[in-house]
Amino acid sequence: SVVLTTGTFLGGLIHIGLQNYSGGRAGDPPSIALAKRLRELPLRVGRLKTGTPPRIDGRSVDFSQMTEQPGDTPLPVMSFLGSREQ
């Protein structure tokens, strides 16, 4: 078995409200041609749900009504390349 992790913008589609368009991270283009080619091959293709929540326009939020929820201390190490000192 091979797991090909192509990133979030393989055939990337950005949703803003009811509109959507092809795109990548920070203005990068989506990988449309690669996605098309992979689907042409006799491979089983699937997606993993990232659970990324929708973005909220900060101008529409009354932050004075919220309670701060601080992160973990110490920070968890998320990679074998990382260290607690980073």
Question: Using CA atoms, how far apart are residues 25 and 12, in angstroms rounded to an integer?
Answer: 9
pLDDT in tens, 33-70: 888 888 899 987 776 666 777 778 899 999 999 999 98
User: Considering the entire predicted model, what is its pTM?
Assistant: 0.43
Q: Which of 39, 4, 35 is nearest to 24 (CA)?
A: 35
Per-residue pLDDT tens for 9-27? Answer: 788 888 888 999 888 877 7
Q: Could you tell me which residues come within 8 angstroms of residue 38 by beta carbon, excluding any fewer than 6 positions away?
A: 4, 6, 10, 45
Domain boundaries along the sequence of the chain = 1-49
